[in-house]
């Protein structure tokens, strides 16, 4: 085969690969939109699909959680009450009343939870950061892939969150979410389902599994959420009082 033939085959091969890629990309569902709770039992419609997380706790983890809850019981303090984002998996499980917006691109899906304006970025393929560059945080680091019509998101680099409402975990926790469309509700709205599995050998004797559903809000909008306005106003009032002047 001559040089021209080889080049031709390479070009055809590349074109076929590109076409296949485009077709695959076209086949993945588009979750872009604003989503609210689809209702149902549990936190914002989330349902435990195995035993309740509390029943899977290791004794030492339960002791830590009990101590934490005793500490905040009287005041009812929570991270959210102090304008700290909920963190995973609570940010995902609790989203809906304050809606969730998904912006989908092939290389990155961005999820914005209105409460506390928490944002998750789910990276695909080469868009992913090197492991050493991933910054631990309350929502961790998320990478995604498609398995047919299902979006699979793996999250690690989480920090210890004893303060999660029902899904406390250590910094060793990893979370897998499997997102898929689940038909339509009685109003004709698309339903998005997430099946979550959290594995944390430090806190739990077995993976914690929950399923959450959202309904699409047609032409929905996520509102701005600047949590600390109240605290800032209090602080200004304090400064003004100390200075003996009115708040400007």
Partner 1 sequence: MKTLRYIAMTAFSLCLAAAAGAHHSAVQFDFGKQVQYTGVVKEFSAINLHMRMSIELKNAGGAGTHIVKFEGHSTNNMYRAGYRKGMVQAGQTVTVNAAPYRDGTEGGYVIAVTLADGTFFGMKGRAQDAQRTGDEVRRQAEGR
Residues at the interface with partner 1 (CB under 8 A): 43-44, 74-83, 86, 90, 93-94, 97-98, 114-115, 163, 165, 223-231, 233-234, 237-238, 241-242
> CB of residue 227 vs partner 1: minimum separation in angstroms?
5
Query: Toward partner 1, which CB reaches closer, 201 or 228?
Result: 228
**Min dist. Cβ of residue 107 to partner 1 (A):** 30
82/149 with CB nearer partner 1:
82
Which lies closer to partner 1 via its Cβ, residue 59 or residue 224?
224
Smallest gap, in angstroms, from Cβ of residue 65 to partner 1? 14
As a three-state string, the secondary structure of the chain is CCHHHHHHHHHHHHHHHHHHHHHHHHHCCCCCEEEEECCCCCHHHCEECCCCHHHHECHHHHHHHHHHHHHHHCCCCCCHHHCCCCCCCHHHHCCCCCCEEEEECCCEEEEEECHHHEEEEEEEHHHCCCHHHCCCECCCEEEEEEECCEEEEEEECECCECCCCCCCECCCCEEEEEEEEEEECCCCCEEEEEEEEEECCCCECCCEEEEEEEEECCCCCCCCCCCCHHHHHHHHHHHHHHHCCCCC
Q: Residue 79 CB, nearest distance to partner 1 (Å)?
A: 5
Taking the least distance from each CB to partner 1, the nearer of 98 and 144 is 98
Smallest separation (angstroms) from partner 1 to the CB of 159: 16
Nearer to partner 1, 27 or 226 (CB): 226
């Amino acid at each position: 085969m001559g040089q021209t033939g080889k080049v031709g085959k390479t070009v055809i091969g590349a074109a076929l690969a590109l076409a296949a890629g485009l077709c695959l990309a076209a086949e993945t569902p588009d979750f872009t939109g604003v989503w609210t709770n689809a209702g149902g039992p549990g936190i914002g419609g989330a349902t435990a699909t195995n035993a309740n997380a509390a029943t899977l706790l290791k004794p030492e983890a339960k002791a830590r959680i009990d101590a934490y809850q005793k500490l905040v019981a009287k005041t009812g303090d929570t991270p959210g009450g102090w304008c700290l984002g909920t963190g995973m998996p609570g940010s995902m499980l609790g989203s809906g009343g304050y809606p969730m917006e998904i912006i989908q691109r092939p290389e990155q899906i961005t999820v914005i939870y209105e409460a506390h304006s928490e944002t998750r970025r789910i990276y695909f393929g080469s868009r992913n950061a090197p492991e050493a560059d991933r910054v631990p945080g309350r929502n961790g680091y998320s990478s995604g892939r498609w398995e047919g019509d299902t979006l699979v998101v793996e999250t690690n680099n989480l920090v210890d969150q004893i303060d999660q409402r029902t899904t406390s975990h250590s910094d060793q926790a990893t979370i897998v979410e499997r997102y898929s469309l689940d038909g339509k509700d009685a109003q004709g709205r698309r339903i998005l389902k997430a099946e979550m599995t959290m594995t944390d050998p430090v806190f739990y004797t077995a993976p914690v599994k929950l399923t959450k559903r959202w309904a699409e809000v047609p032409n929905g909008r996520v509102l701005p959420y600047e949590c600390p306005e109240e605290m800032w106003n209090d602080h200004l009032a304090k400064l003004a009082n100390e200075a003996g002047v009115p708040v400007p």
